[in-house]
Amino acid sequence: MAVVGADNGLEQTKVEILLSNFGQAYGKAKELAAGATDIVVTQENQTTLMQEARTKRLALKNVRVEVENTRKSLKEQSLREGKAIDGMANIIKALIVPVEEHLENQEKFAEIKQAERKAARHAERVEKLSKYVPDVSLYSLEDMADDTFENLVASSKDAFEAQEAAKAKAEAERIAAEKAAAEEQERTRQENIRLKEEADAREAEIEAERQKRLELERAEAERVAAEAADAAKAEEAARRALLAPDKDKLVALAISIEQLELPHVASQEAGKLLDETCDFLTRIAKNLRNKAEEL
């Protein structure tokens, strides 16, 4: 136990305090542990041996609990001691640190002013160069000589202005190209409209000519049909005029047949024959009249 304290860097007085707190418990534990592993129960009827094992176990437990309580107590005391140490040290540091910082500022006044001037110059250079360079961290501006920096700014400015001029030219060319493309597109659109209108006009003219031709053909067909109808009517009229006397003659014959007076007969056979003859003559007169009407 003394070796453990020494290995952890404790002062001898601290080691002695710990030994006084844990030494007695160590002695008890060592005494109780002696021969404890020799207790071996092999039969269920060895109750005396079992009781001895219980007694020693509880005694060792009591020593372990006592050691744990001592450990916690000492550790809590150490924590409180540590907090007290920190508090006292902080009070002293709170007194010393501001004065120390003030004295350091006075001691390093020239260095601080030089650093401030250097930082101000660096900030000024960053602001001046960043107008023309996107990433000023590429250059070691803090240690750069003034003439070197001015040359860097001048060359960066020239490169930036040349780049901006190229961008402006490219943008102007792009705008001009877009404008020309838009004008060409509009010209093409207008030309397409004109061509379509001309095509539509030609189609309308062709359609009008076609309609006119159809109208003439229809009028001619109607004229020819009318002339044919007139000729047919004239021909039919001539035919009817030619057939009119014959028709009248035939109709007159049919009338004369219908008006023919038949003789009176006495016998039944003669009457029957006379009826048949009358019926036959009626059919002849009707057929003659119908055929004559068709002439």
Instruction: Report the distance separating Cα 28 and Cα 67, nearest Å.
Output: 11
pLDDT tens for residues 40-98? 888 888 888 889 889 888 888 988 898 888 888 888 887 876 677 677 777 777 777 77
Instruction: Report the distance separating Cα 255 and Cα 58, nearest Å.
Output: 167
* pLDDT score of 240: 65
The pTM assigned to this predicted structure is: 0.34
State the DSSP code for 260.
P
**Phi and psi dihedrals of 239, rounded to 5?**
-60, -45
Lowest mean pLDDT among 9-18, 19-28, 123-132, 176-185: 9-18
CA distances from 168 to 135, 164, 173 (A): 22, 6, 8
Neighbours of 122 (CB within 10 A): 15
Query: Residue 222: what residue type?
Result: E
Query: Residue 70: what residue type?
Result: T
Percent of the chain with pLDDT over 70: 94
pLDDT tens for residues 252-294? 888 888 888 878 888 888 888 888 888 888 899 888 888 877 7
For residues 181 and 174, the answer to whether their CB atoms sit within 8 Å is no
CA distance between the termini of the chain: 163
SS3 263: coil
* pLDDT score of 105: 75
Neighbours of 50 (CB within 10 A): 14
| Structure token digits, residue 51 | 């009781």
Maximum CA extent, the chain: 193
